[in-house]
Amino acid sequence: MPRRNPLVIGHRGAPGYRPEHSRSSYDLALQMGVDAVEPDIVVSKDGVLVVRHENEISTTTDVADRPEFAERRTTKTVDGAPMTGWFTEDFTWDELATLRCRERLPAIRPASASFDDQQPVLRLAQVLDLVRDASLAQGREIGVVLEIKHATYFAGLGLDVAALVDAELRRAGWADGELPLVVEAFESTVLTSIRARGIRGTYVYLIEAAGRPFDQVAALGRAALTYRKTVEPAGLDTLVGVVDGISVDKRLLLAPDKLGRMTGPSGIVDDAHARGLRVFTWTCRPENTFLVGEFRHGRAPGEFGDYEAEWEVIRATGLDGVFVDHADLGVAFFRR
């Protein structure tokens, strides 16, 4: 059944105020009252689950300024796209732990960038313990929405992400449903593999506004179903019994045209709910650069637009969860 109010999920903590995936980002989100936080995970050379938005880390750490790692800059093809930089799978965890977090969007969020180079990179076990401790301290259940990145790519390097996640969740006491756990990925195959291992939680399929999931492209090529086809009724039918829900790019709900004018809301939420699937959306942000054109104020990319008007359209769909960068704004709006 649809929730009266959607879950408010701190997307990478509270990155509207602190560098994403830093300790202070998570601390702030938890203090601001989110229902859950969302760590993204990638893998180190020695099989440690590292909390980073991507395995390429030059925009979110100080690695590019570390002369001892200069020779590790390289170009790789990740999920079919070439990328140049420094990659977690080329570092041991002990090396990654020496790096410091940086704001990924300093031009848009200069206040957050003022906290650059102060906090070490985290591993998943640290975030799981942090959330458990906050749940006990605050006397309420706080969940983790665990996003798995590039599972097929890592499998090609001999790194079994599903096995690593299974082991980590069991070690940390998060495998048996004691606290709310959501496992999400843009690749359904890794979700199926983790669920088959007996990890108790809610399994959510992430949906881009365009393109195809890389695991399906690797297996089927151009015959792979597009993300947009997946959220059509026939595509949603194929997800029933495979996952518990979907998490869609908000553009799929708002349906902006080429001029940035909203034509939605679309019927995705109703269609998914009719099939017993939950629906989350990402990411609710207040800055102009992230809003549909008609909700922007002024020309400054980092200035807040009429974000509440956009968020009201999203809330009115009756969806089950929203990812937010500014935890306080998300809690205040979606709970009122």
* Of 280, 273, 278, 304, residue with least CA distance to 291: 304
* Of 281, 262, 264, residue with least CA distance to 319: 281
Which residues sit opposite 9 in a β-bridge? 36, 323
Residue 194 tokens, joined = 């983790």
The single-letter DSSP state of residue 289 is G
Q: How confident is the model at residue 336 (pLDDT cuts 50, 70, 90)?
A: confident
State pLDDT tens for residues 77-99. Answer: 999 999 999 999 999 999 999 99
3-state SS class at 10: strand
State pLDDT tens for residues 23-39. Answer: 999 999 999 999 999 99
State pLDDT tens for residues 297-334. Answer: 998 999 999 999 999 999 999 999 999 999 999 999 99
Q: 3-class secondary structure for 13-76?
A: CCCCCCCCCCHHHHHHHHHCCCCEEECEEEECCCCCEEECCCCECCCCECHHHCHHHHHHCEEE
Residue 269: pLDDT over 70:
yes
Q: Over range 189-207, report the average pLDDT.
A: 98
Q: Where are the beta strands (DSSP E) in 255-301?
A: 278-284
Name, in order, each residue with C-beta under 8 angstroms of 302's C-beta and a sequence gap of 6 or more. 107, 108, 109, 110, 287, 288, 289
Q: How confident is the model at residue 3 (pLDDT cuts 50, 70, 90)?
A: low
In contact, 310 and 295? CB cutoff 8 Å: yes
State pLDDT tens for residues 233-242. Answer: 999 999 999 9
Q: Over range 65-71, report the average pLDDT.
A: 98
Q: Over range 68-76, report the average pLDDT.
A: 98
pLDDT (0 to 100) of residue 259: 87
Q: How confident is the model at residue 4 (pLDDT cuts 50, 70, 90)?
A: confident
In contact, 181 and 202? CB cutoff 8 Å: yes
302 phi and psi, to 5 degrees? Answer: -90, -5
Can you list the alpha helix ranges (DSSP code H) found in the chain?
23-31, 93-96, 110-113, 124-138, 151-155, 161-172, 188-196, 214-220, 227-230, 233-239, 250-254, 268-274, 307-316, 327-334
Q: Over range 214-221, report the average pLDDT.
A: 96
What is the Cα 133 distance to its own chain's centre?
Answer: 22
For residues 2 and 196, the model is more confident at 196
Q: How confident is the model at residue 1 (pLDDT cuts 50, 70, 90)?
A: very low
- Contacts by 62-67, CB closer than 8 A, 24 or more apart: 62/99, 62/100, 62/102, 62/116, 62/117, 63/99, 66/98, 66/99
Q: Does domain 7-55+122-334 have CATH number 3.30.70.1350?
A: no
- The rounded percent of the chain whose pLDDT value lies above 70 is 99
**Which residue ranges make up each domain of the chain?**
7-55+122-334
* Of 61, 204, 214, residue with least CA distance to 146: 204
Average pLDDT, the chain: 97
pLDDT (0 to 100) of residue 241: 96
State pLDDT tens for residues 116-159. Answer: 999 999 999 999 999 999 999 999 999 999 999 999 999 999 99
Rg (CA), the chain: 19
